[in-house]
Amino acid sequence: MGIPSAVRERRRPEEAILYRLVQGQWNTFVQRLEAGERVVPRFCIREVEASLRCGILAHGFARVICDACKKEEVVAFSCKGRGFCPSCGTRRMVDTAAWLVDRVLPAVQGRAALGERAGERDQRVGRGTRNEPFDPTANAAGITTSNYNRTLIGN
């Protein structure tokens, strides 16, 4: 017995505004920089050009078949980029957030204690408590959030 079938719609990056904008202007941008004796770093060129190929069936795909219903789908290859590709960047962000929630945060002892100190921190950096309005003069003592955080952590 397989997993109930869900309607899967293929991502179509070629229809997105950002994709069309970058695709239409990328070569012009690179040529203008090179004409002015400036160079786009190779890693930038690789990242942008890989993101322009990401999710496009013409640049490669895998055919997958559902064991339960025998339905065939094609899945376009992705660039797995870290910086420029909105799809791969979002997927990485979601995976990292899920990892943090599932693996890291449950193991942290004293999370409630840190939450209790948030009100203290807010008062010290001039935010007041939830019931008090923001007071921009409250931070005149020079207490910064990073200094306060170092005090909390013990560094």
Helix (H) or strand (E) holding 11: none
Percent of the chain with pLDDT over 70: 65
Contacts of 71 (CB under 8 A, 6+ apart): 5, 65
Average pLDDT for 119-132:
53
Q: Evaluate if residue 48 carries a pLDDT over 90.
A: yes
What are the pLDDT digits (tens) for 8-31? 788 898 999 999 999 999 999 999
Q: How far apart are CA 113 and CA 90, in angstroms?
A: 31
Please give the pLDDT value at position 7. 73
